[in-house]
Amino acid sequence: MNEGREGTDRSPAYGERPAETGLPVTVPSTALFTDQYELTMLQAALRAGTAERRSAFEVFTRRLPEGRRYGVVAGTGRVLDAVENFRFDDQMLDFLRENGVVDGPTLEWLADYRFSGDILGYPEGEVYFPGSPLMRVEGTFAECVLLETVILSILNHDSAVAAAASRMSVAAGGRPLIEMGARRTHELAAVAASRAAYVGGFDTTSDLAAGFRYGIPTVGTSAHSFTLLHDTERGAFTAQVDSLGSGTTLLVDTYDVEEAVRTAVDVAGPGLGAVRIDSGDLLLLAHRVRQQLDDLGADKTRIVVTSDLDEYAIASLAAAPVDAYGVGTQLVTGSGHPTCSMVYKLVARADSDERDAPMRPVAKRSMGGKTSLGGAKWAARPPDAAGVAEAEVVGSGPVPPELADHLLQVELVKDGTVVGREPLDAVRERHKAVMGRLPMSAMQLSRGEPVLPTEHR
């Protein structure tokens, strides 16, 4: 496997690299990544004189996906990019005008839109539970309501992928994980998925756009088509080794695995970097291939397995002599849970548009399990004597003194300026550290309740 660069957030602006290269990695503006009713609410609020009332919206989920014990916050960095780039240019305003989406005064208001409020939230890489106030967006109703769809779009997708990645990382037990799902999802979603997978514990990606955009280490060697291109498997292996060196990874399941392994070592020598198995009974084949490699003197050659893996398949290979896993479809689709069901709800608002008007809690109270708790909330996670988290404590109003040192939310945007952007590797390391402070039952892949209870105060 070829090594890549250190993972860093290299390009915060949505439009920076496409402007230079034309690559479909990002977009120049996020302003139309929204639902029409956000704009029609804005129009009505402007007419009613309530658009400038100070408001607080919160992102949370009422439940975790069935059987999951924790969620993973991912996409925060992309949310910050999206907020910065939420701008209505002339073409967008013409589109809204020509299609009668909103009226003239609303178009004039949108032309000058810049988010000037505050955003607090769980730092990226943290875990969360039902009711956790993952993000709070504060400002005028008008400027906050427009961000609902794009924020939820990013957090729901990225957190779903990161949670799947985290579970797969737990199952892998420290063995390297390769993200290789670009061909199984939308081309732009693939870049976001690579980033989220890296947050959740994956080590590398096959997607060059993700490496280009975020500095995630990239890997890749050859597919079955390369072997089939050549007259013989030996010819294919020879061509690859001549080009990439003996440290490359040779794919050995195109024809007969045993014969391919023998040929691979004969061509590359005992210093062959790795062999990849992409089909068949992976458990059985891994043991057979390991024994064969050792017998041929290639005892340092690694074994990489792919083939529609998920966390359960990875766990089933825990006792197998596997050195790395490549995961695609199940990872980029959240391993059966492609969204986190996060919502964005108004929880507090002022009674007037005066800057210092007091805020009062508001909440939806309908039937059917969609009720919510009013009031801007804080969250804390107190540890026990051993440093293991005991509960997710959520409340509004003053923070109890005993919880003041355990608050989870951090400042992300202040007066419209991003203050919480951080390198992607720092996010990845945070997730590792957070997982180490959860109860051991968080590492179980079996279905169960959230590993921490949510206590409301």
Per-residue model confidence as pLDDT tens digits over 323-364: 999 999 999 999 999 999 999 999 999 998 888 899 999 998
Confidence of residue 191 (pLDDT cuts 50, 70, 90): very high
Average pLDDT, whole number, for the chain? Answer: 93
116 with 70, same domain? yes
201 with 310, same domain? yes
331 with 199, same domain? yes
| Residue where a domain stops, chosen among 302, 335, 368 | 335
User: How much is the average pLDDT of 80-96?
Assistant: 96
Domains in the chain: how many in total?
A: 2
214 with 300, same domain? yes
pTM for this entry: 0.93
185 with 301, same domain? yes
- The answer to whether residue 449 scores a pLDDT higher than 80 is yes
> Would residue 273 count as lying in a domain?
yes
Confidence of residue 161 (pLDDT cuts 50, 70, 90): very high
Confidence of residue 26 (pLDDT cuts 50, 70, 90): low
> Would residue 31 count as lying in a domain?
yes
Report pLDDT for 94.
97
290 with 359, same domain? no
Q: For the segment 289-321, what is each residue's pLDDT rounded down to a tens digit?
A: 999 999 999 999 999 999 999 999 999 999 999
How far is residue 434's CA from residue 415's CA, in Å, rounded to a whole number? 29
Confidence of residue 23 (pLDDT cuts 50, 70, 90): very low
Q: Which CATH number characterizes residue 289's domain?
A: 3.20.20.70
Q: Which CATH number characterizes residue 126's domain?
A: 3.20.140.10
- The answer to whether residue 248 scores a pLDDT higher than 70 is yes
> Would residue 25 count as lying in a domain?
yes
| Residue where a domain stops, chosen among 294, 314, 335 | 335
- 244: containing domain: 179-335
> Would residue 303 count as lying in a domain?
yes
Q: For the segment 27-61, what is each residue's pLDDT rounded down to a tens digit?
A: 679 999 999 999 999 999 999 999 999 999 999 99
119 with 74, same domain? yes
> Would residue 407 count as lying in a domain?
yes
109 with 134, same domain? yes
> Would residue 170 count as lying in a domain?
no
User: How much is the average pLDDT of 220-226?
Assistant: 97
197 with 319, same domain? yes
> Would residue 9 count as lying in a domain?
no
- The answer to whether residue 19 scores a pLDDT higher than 90 is no
| Residue where a domain stops, chosen among 275, 304, 335 | 335
328 with 349, same domain? no
> Would residue 354 count as lying in a domain?
yes
309 with 213, same domain? yes
45 with 84, same domain? yes
- The answer to whether residue 64 scores a pLDDT higher than 50 is yes
